[in-house]
Amino acid sequence: MKFRVERDVLADAVTWTARTLPSRPPVPVLAGVRIEADAAGTLHLSSFDYEVSARSEIPAEVSEPGVVLVSGRLLAEISRALPAKPVDVVLDGSKVTVTCGASRFTLLTMPVDEYPALPVMPSISGTVDGDELTQAVAQVTVAASRDDTLPLLTGVRMEIEGEKITLLATDRYRLALRELTWRPATPDMSAVALVRARTLSDVAKSLGGSQTVNIALATGTGIDLIGFEAAGRHTTSLLVDGDYPAVRRLFPDETPIHAVVSTHALAEAAKRVALVAERNTPIRLSFTQGQVVLDAGQGDDAQASEALESVLVGEDISVAFNPQFLQDGLSALTTTFVRLSFTHPNKPVEFTGQETLDGEDASDYRYLLVPIRFAS
């Protein structure tokens, strides 16, 4: 095998392909990136850990076609450190030589015949705008659990009905829901998939810069798989197995009390007030006509408070939240104002967005946060 490729093109492709390599692979070959150079002048780079696969294709000047398996992380580090010149890669026996300008590296190869076959990308189910996918995934994954002992809650539930995709995630203390439109391959498509939040977040960040992202879904075929494709890059992931809890019913049907506050002002005030909040201690929000007062700290500890203008519809109400969970929800909103809808001081509070102070809730994003009980 022998080929020449531009440094930036190689570094970008290797870094992307190697990004999901396991730090402690169950078998040594899974730490490798498989590189296949074909006679048509294309390099195919791939990685796989039995759950998530990544493949990318880049153009190259191929003198001798061939296949090789080398350490993915090492090749990524080397390719990023090379000078801005063409890179020559040559396979010689059990070693690969990487030459770029005056720099020369020799890498040991791994047994390519022991590398597992990558899963086949399912047929394309539809396409979605890349930027919208990136934003929607970021808004929802903040609420996914990081606790691997509860694997179901580390996933994002994806519900597809026709031209609408709904993403849902919860860690039991908050719940995020985002709706977005896409272009399905069949107008009446209906499907449900549970995707690992980490994988979905990584895909959205790495592929979301593309104008459109293809989504491929295969369920009920023995292997439940989801695939994403954009700009010559492909990722597949096994779906999480299990029945996701019926979380939609947690959103209240009616909320007799609601308050509207500037999203940015509330987020900044919460950040300042949280500076004195000890670990696991809440921020308290007290809503009265015309204002909301945020405070944290009590007794002999450091204390902070700040008042903001707000509009309150209904009776005065006070709630307390985990500071980080509050900030996560506010950061996920993209609207000028946030509406907090209440049923009771100890019941979950729904956060939605609106563009004007006295306008209607027009957000396709909903964030439900469980308050922390506090002594009156």
CATH classification at residue 109: 3.10.150.10
Whether 376 is in a domain gets the answer no
Q: How confident is the model at residue 250 (pLDDT cuts 50, 70, 90)?
A: very high
Higher pLDDT, 148 or 226: 226
Looking at the fold, whether 187 and 214 belong to one and the same domain comes out as yes
Q: Between the CA atoms of 157, 260, 341 and 170, what dihedral angle is there, to the nearest 10 degrees?
A: 20
Give domain status of residue 42, yes or no: yes
Q: Which domain holds residue 258?
A: 251-369
Same domain, 240 and 269: no
The pLDDT assigned to 173 comes to 95
Tell which of 215, 248, 281 closes a domain: 248
Q: Which of 72, 107, 102, 71 is nearest to 89 (CA)?
A: 107
How much of the chain, in percent, has pLDDT values that exceed 70?
Answer: 98
Residues 232 and 277 in one domain: no
Residue 375 forms part of a structural domain: no
Cβ-Cβ contacts under 8 Å for 350 (sequence gap 6 or more):
251, 252, 255, 340, 341, 366, 367, 368
pLDDT of residue 288: 96
Is residue 101 assigned to a domain? yes
Which tens digit of pLDDT belongs to each residue from 273-282?
A: 999 988 778 9
- Co-location of 267 and 166 in the same domain: no
The confidence band for 208, taking pLDDT boundaries of 50, 70 and 90, is confident
Q: Are residues 53 and 99 in the same domain?
A: yes
Specify the pLDDT at position 221: 61
Same domain, 170 and 193: yes
pLDDT 10s digits, 322-352 = 999 999 999 999 999 999 999 998 999 999 9
Residue where a domain stops, chosen among 198, 231, 248: 248
In a domain, 357, yes or no: yes
Q: Are residues 43 and 152 in the same domain?
A: no
Looking at the fold, whether 276 and 332 belong to one and the same domain comes out as: yes
Q: Is residue 325 part of a domain?
A: yes
Q: Would the pLDDT of 220 be above 80?
A: no
Q: Which of 248, 268, 288 is the last residue of a domain?
A: 248
Percent of the chain topping pLDDT 90: 83
Number of helices (H) and strands (E), helices first, in the chain?
A: 6, 27
Confidence check: pLDDT of 113 > 90:
yes
Rounded distance between C-alpha atoms, residue 87 and residue 216, angstroms: 34
Q: Which two tokens stand for residue 361?
A: 């809730």
The DSSP output letter for 276 is G
Torsion angle defined by CA atoms of residues 315, 319, 325 and 327, in that order, rounded to the nearest 10 degrees: 60
Token pair 């909903």 is found at: 366
- For 288, counting Cβ atoms within 10 Å of its Cβ (0-12 exposed, 13-18 middle, 19+ buried), the class is middle
Name the domain count of the chain. Answer: 3
Residue 131: is its pLDDT beyond 70? yes
- Quick one: tokens of 371? 């308050």
**361 φ, ψ to 5°?**
-65, 115
Q: Which amino acid, one-letter code, is at 140?
A: V
Please check whether residue 91 is in contact with residue 2, taking contact to mean a CB–CB distance below 8 angstroms: yes
The verdict on residue 170 lying in a domain is yes
pLDDT tens sequence across 54-78:
999 999 999 999 999 999 999 999 9
Q: For residue 260, give the nearest of 337, 192, 176 by alpha carbon.
A: 337
Q: Check pLDDT > 70 for residue 204.
A: yes
Neighbours of 60 (CB within 10 A): 22
The answer on 175 and 204 residing in a single domain is yes
Residues 183 and 197 in one domain: yes
pLDDT at position 359: 78
Q: 375 falls in which pLDDT band (50, 70, 90)? A: low
Inter-CA distances, 286 with 290, 306, 312, 376, Å: 11, 11, 11, 12
Reference 181, options 127, 235, 227; nearest CA is 127
Given pLDDT bands bounded at 50, 70 and 90, which one contains residue 222? low
Average pLDDT over residues 354-365: 84
34 is a domain residue: yes
Alpha helices in 72-171 (DSSP H): 72-81, 130-141
